[in-house]
Homo-oligomer: A and B are copies of this chain.
Amino acid sequence: MKPSGPVVESKVRVRYAETDAQRIVYHANYLIWFEVGRTDYCEAAGYPYARMESEGVLIAVVEARARFRRGARYGDVVTVRTRFAGLKSRGCAFVYDVVLPDGTLSAEGETHHIFMDIEGRPRLVPPPVAEAFRAFGGM
């Protein structure tokens, strides 16, 4: 996992719905925030994920990993910092930091993906997508 290229930042305000009885954000929600970061990354790279889907390219999550450092709380505006971490012919990866308002690291993680066609079969990354990510991601 060698992240490269620009960091895309997303601001997420913690919803009450995302907290749990320990009064901090329930851990699985960080994976949803990673998705928010990924969405913003694809848009910043010039290839919004909604456009990929409309062109028949689905991206599936095949692996996710997160380390939870310090739980965010209701009302916090956290920053999700997303970087690209590799593009292969059939998949790609991202790494993420989630940072609290005071700059403390809340969580960090990574996700691995494969490209699929509309029927869910693995497929090669389409050249325009690869090109957009490479141009943006400095690879």
Instruction: Name the contact of A15 in the complex, choosing from B19, B35, B64, B120 (C-beta under 8 A).
Output: B35
Give A50 Cβ to nearest chain B Cβ, in Å.
4
In the assembly, how many copies of this chain are there?
4
Query: Which residues of A62-111 have CB atoms within 8 Å of chain B's CB atoms?
Result: 62-68, 71, 73-75
Q: Tell me whether A74 and B21 are in contact (CB under 8 A).
A: yes
Which stretch from A1-9, A24-32, A125-133 is at the chain B interface?
A: A24-32
Q: A28-B31, A36-B15 are in contact. Are A75 and B63 (CB under 8 A)?
A: no
**Which residues of A does B touch, CB under 8 Å?**
13, 15-17, 19-24, 26-29, 31-32, 35-36, 39, 48-50, 53, 58, 60-68, 71, 73-75, 120
